[in-house]
């Protein structure tokens, strides 16, 4: 299917590995000119090379407020105006709510809520000028169904979800859509930290904790990065032009909410 985004410029944050990489790869395969972002320049460049299709790389840490503007400026210098923005950042640490101090909460807010809001603010003027824009925020299934020991991640991502729900209605008439993509239990490094922590608390092996997680999913497997990227590309496509303010869960049926 032609997604109608060939030649458009896409900046995918946190895309040197994992789910962000899958999003960048799917967008590039759909014809978008992709800028890969990651904290490590060599890893970002290697990811861009692996993706091919003319993908470029810009290193930078989205949790650094001063670095965010530089990431956008360098991406524009490489490709031109940004029509597609995918926000993504490594999740906060798991654990019971009372184990996270004030400084940990502030760091999580900066990395997983304020960074996305700031990056969106930086690209919106160009999208408005073009009369077209696609914003996709990678959050978590826990926004729809809270998960034990994930209160920190759920709290800050719920805040981002609320902000983006408002933004979606503010820019809907300008050809700009704003949606969130909610991964379930995906077999990534971020999930490994969660089941490793569970294994340590419960004195079981990490493999046992991982297997238990997979068994909790109706499809009886953890999600893979390639389950995720194509959904991201569709939300960025012209075919999704009448979808905005939505939370799309990619979870193998894990979330049991009716709506």
Domain 9-184+225-250 -> CATH class = alpha beta
pLDDT score for 21: 97
Q: What is the sign, positive or negative, of the torsion defined by CA atoms of 248, 253, 257, 259?
A: positive
Q: What is the pTM of this model?
A: 0.94
pLDDT score for 144: 94
How do residues 136-195 score in pLDDT, each as one tens digit?
Answer: 999 999 999 988 888 999 999 999 999 999 999 999 999 999 999 999 999 988 788 888
Residues of the chain with pLDDT under 50: none
User: What are the structural domain ranges in the chain?
Assistant: 9-184+225-250, 185-222
End-to-end CA, the chain: 28
pLDDT score for 134: 98
User: Which residues touch 95 (CB under 8 Å, ≥6 apart)?
Assistant: 149, 152, 197
pLDDT score for 258: 86
């Amino acid at each position: 299917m032609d997604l109608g985004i060939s030649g458009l410029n896409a900046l995918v944050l946190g895309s040197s590995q994992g789910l962000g990489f899958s999003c960048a790869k799917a967008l590039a395969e759909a014809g978008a000119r992709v800028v890969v972002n990651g904290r490590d320049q060599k890893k970002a460049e290697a990811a861009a090379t692996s993706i091919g299709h003319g993908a470029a790389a810009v290193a930078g840490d989205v949790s650094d407020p001063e670095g965010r503007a530089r990431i956008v400026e360098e991406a524009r210098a490489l490709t031109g105006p940004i029509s597609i923005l995918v926000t993504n950042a490594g999740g906060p640490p798991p654990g019971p709510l009372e184990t996270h101090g004030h400084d940990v909460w502030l760091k999580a807010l900066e990395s997983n809520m304020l960074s996305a809001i700031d990056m969106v603010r930086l690209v919106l003027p160009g999208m408005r000028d073009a009369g077209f824009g696609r914003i996709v925020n990678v959050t978590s299934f826990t926004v729809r169904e809270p998960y034990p020991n994930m209160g920190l991640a759920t709290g800050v991502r719920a805040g981002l979800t609320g902000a983006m729900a408002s933004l979606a209605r503010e820019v809907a008439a300008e050809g700009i859509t704003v949606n969130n993509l909610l991964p379930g239990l995906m077999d990534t490094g971020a999930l490994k930290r969660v089941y490793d922590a569970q294994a340590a608390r419960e004195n079981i092996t990490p493999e046992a904790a991982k297997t238990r997680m997979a068994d909790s999913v109706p499809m009886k497997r953890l999600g893979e990065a390639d389950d995720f990227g194509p959904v991201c590309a569709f939300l960025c496509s012209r075919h999704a032009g009448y979808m905005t303010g939505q939370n799309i869960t990619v979870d193998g049926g894990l979330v049991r909410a009716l709506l």
